[in-house]
Amino acid sequence: MNIIWACLLLLGGLLILWKCADFLVSGAVALARQLGVSPLVVGLTVVAMGTSAPEVAASIAAAVRGVGDVAIGNVYGSNIANLALVGGIAALIRPIRVQLRTLQREIPVMILVALLLWPVLHNLFLSRPEGLVLLVIFAALILLTVYMARKDAVNSSRSECNTQYAIRTTKKSVLFIVIGLAGLALGADMAVRGAVFVGERIGLSNAVIGLTIIAIGTSLPELATCIAASVKGQHDISIGNLVGSNVFNTLLVVGTAGTIKPFEIGHRLIATDYWIMIVVSVVFAAAALIGRRIIGRVAGTLLLCVYIAYMVYLLAYTRAM
């Protein structure tokens, strides 16, 4: 493989990831509509699942190929990108209104889930039993989230959510989901192969490749979804997608990758980048709290500046190596 083919492989993989994630979200939301869930539930579960699917596929592909730094770097980088880059851009387009129960319940859970990774990864190795534990916690959390959210849901919320999506038959929705999942697996493998080759040629470590190239690429579905939600004023979809995607990344992506193939990670991922992810999560929560449940344009600008500073740090670190 030469550099030109690697770039084409990377770009093609990212394009497939973007489009197939859209297929998956469209099909899944059409099916979920029949359950009568609110926009927040859709954002926290169905939409978050769809937009996190590229991270799942990319990290599994990286783990199978024996590059654990890419797998975990992708999770950290995607979580940081979701809150700082995607959240910042969405807030600049239209200030994000956060429900009180989301600030009291879902956002703290997102931070607590991120903190769970410390005892799992502090020894620089993710075992299969640890991956399975993360998946069990994930399943329990999703069931609890759906139960609580459906309990709080109101009829008006259901009608709001339904206006965003065209009515599709069940057969067509299932077809969209199958195509989306198949395409995500293909696109993820292409992106990992291309990104690792290009990154190594320009002198980037596997950790930085996962934290930057792949993380940003697999966060594109979140970005597209949140921009569309912000334009339409669907705050619950936007905030639910951001918070839900980070929970999915932390538990489902890491758990699945570790269960399929245990792997080692580099020291810097747990000593530095992990804590940057935690700080960004706390800053995001603080922005909603200080803004009285509104993440405004000033906070959005701050989040974007944090992300730009992180990118500069990563590049400076790489040059110093």
At residue 144, the pLDDT reads 85
Query: What CATH number has the domain spanning 3-320?
Result: 1.20.1420.30
At residue 94, the pLDDT reads 87
Question: Do 73 and 206 form a contact (C-beta atoms < 8 A)?
Answer: yes
At residue 241, the pLDDT reads 83
At residue 157, the pLDDT reads 45
Q: How far is CA 178 from CA 20, 50, 164, in A?
A: 10, 12, 22
Helix (H) or strand (E) holding 263: strand 263-264
- CB burial of 150-182 (b: ≥16 within 10 Å; e: otherwise) equals eeebeeebbebbeeeeeebeeeebeebbeebbe
CA diameter of the chain: 56
Question: Do 102 and 243 form a contact (C-beta atoms < 8 A)?
Answer: yes
At residue 169, the pLDDT reads 67
At residue 215, the pLDDT reads 78
Task: Say which residue the tokens 């993440």 belong to.
Answer: 295
Q: Which two tokens stand for residue 86?
A: 């995607």
Tell me the domain boundaries of the chain: 3-320
**pLDDT, tens digit, for every residue of 115-168?**
999 999 999 998 999 999 999 999 998 888 777 766 655 444 444 444 444 444
- Cβ-proximal residues to 212 (8 Å cutoff; 6+ apart), any chain: 77, 204, 311, 314
Q: CA-CA distance, 6 to 183, in Å (whole number)?
A: 19
Q: How far is CA 134 from CA 125, 176, 256, 261, in A?
A: 14, 28, 8, 14
* Residue 295 φ then ψ, to 5°: -90, 100
At residue 305, the pLDDT reads 94
At residue 156, the pLDDT reads 43
Kindly give the parts of the chain with pLDDT less than 70.
Answer: 1, 21, 25, 28-29, 31-39, 149-169, 317-321
Q: CA-CA distance, 189 to 185, in Å (whole number)?
A: 6
At residue 159, the pLDDT reads 45
